[in-house]
Chains A and B, each alone.
Chain A
Amino acid sequence: MTVWEFTAFVWILSTLAGFLGALTGLGGGVIVVPALTLALGVDIKYAIGASLVSVIATSSGAAAAYVREGFSNIRIGMFLEIATTIGAIIGAFLAGRFSTHALAIIFGLVLVQAAYQSFKSPPGDVLVESDALARRLRLASSYPVGGKKEGYGVRNVSAGFSIMFGAGALSGLLGIGSGAVKVIAMDRAMRIPFKVSTTTSNFMIGVTAAASAGLYLSRGFIDPRVAMPVMLGVLGGALLGAKVLVHAHVRTLRMVFAFVILALAIEMIASGITGRI
């Protein structure tokens, strides 16, 4: 394959991944890494390096748009980032030690979880009361619902914090934003409203990824020849996706996306086991 063909193909693919990733809240990485490794035979270490920088681009690039909507909660984000960044550093350390096959299999399993997560609907009821720890950390806030502000409480901070540590480790290990795991921590454990948890998670993803980026860089995982089209594509696609996100009804799309991810997951696991990756 020539440089021109490779770059063009990767760019188009990444744009699509970024767009769908932003709409579904699962991020572009979950598509980009399998696509690069399975379709183009790129070593998974290059793929996760490129994915990691695109994750940062998406997170930082969409921040302004999300903030305008008033959903994200900077205190929750910052507090949980202590867990995700420590996790990310540990994950990035491990990424250098794991074999390519092992990484592919773990990646596949994470994809299965992300797909499964997409089929479940978020818990609907918003709790107003916070528990003691959340009150002490002043995590409760309000968000816009149909034009007016609605307050919400936060629960189970320590459970959320622990899950976030795991999310960070997966992010560092696999070069993804691990948005699906972050949503479990905030949505399910801490009972934060869905829109707040997805936008806060988007805000956190960049900081988490930056924590493993230094290690990735020093190991040579970030190869500019691969990362350039991935980053530019995912960023462009994600910015487009963020523009329509607030208006879009994403449930159906999420379902379709989940099936795609599931298929990729099976392929990743199979390739990892048979040694093709």
Chain B
Amino acid sequence: MDDRRLETIIGRLLQTGVLLAAAVVAAGGALYLVQHYADHVNYRHFAAGGPAVQTLSGIIQSAAHLNSEGLMQIGLVLLILTPVARVMMAVVGFLLEKDRLYTVVSLIVLLILTFSLIHAT
């Protein structure tokens, strides 16, 4: 396995992940539009949306109840996970290449990402 092949696999994986995430967001979005198209909205002042869109468990629960906002949000979470998957793939790829330096480099990046995502749990 060389770098080019590794990158090609990672690129494909990312594209698939993004399309999947976009499909979920679009499905949730369609449901949201059907249910709320005539509602009036105003985003002038920021107010956090609550656990149903802010925490992973809340989002999963809300999506499981086919709530349109929950569905859109879980699609967005999937999207956020695509770069994380990319870094994981790179760790595995560099391991297979027996490239110790870059295995460590990608592990560090993975660690930093995990630290951040833990905040949303």
Contact = CB atoms under 8 A, between A and B. Distances in A.
Contacts of B84: 210
A115 interface: no
Interface in A29-62: 40-43, 45-46, 53, 56-57, 59-61
B80 interface: yes
Instruction: Classify chain B: how many residues form its interface, as a range.
Output: 35 or more
Interface string A61-83: 10111111010101100110110
A7 B18 CA distance: 21
B88 to A, nearest CB: 11
B113 A211 contact: yes
A232 B29 contact: yes
A217 B80 CA distance: 10
Contacts of B47: 220
Interface of A: 1-4, 6-7, 40-43, 45-46, 53, 56-57, 59-61, 63-68, 70, 72, 74-75, 78-79, 81-82, 85-86, 88-89, 92, 100, 137-138, 141, 206-207, 209-215, 217-220, 222-229, 231-232, 235
B18 A60 contact: yes
Given A75-B3, A214-B116, A56 B79 contact: yes
A82 B112 contact: yes
Nearest to B71: A224
Interface of B: 3-4, 6-8, 10-12, 14-15, 17-19, 21-22, 25-26, 28-29, 32-33, 36-50, 53-55, 69, 72-73, 76-77, 79-84, 86-87, 90, 101-102, 105-106, 108-109, 112-113, 115-120
B22 A235 contact: yes
Interface centre among B12, B50, B79 (most CB of A within 10 A): B79
B82 to A, nearest CB: 4
A60 B3 contact: no
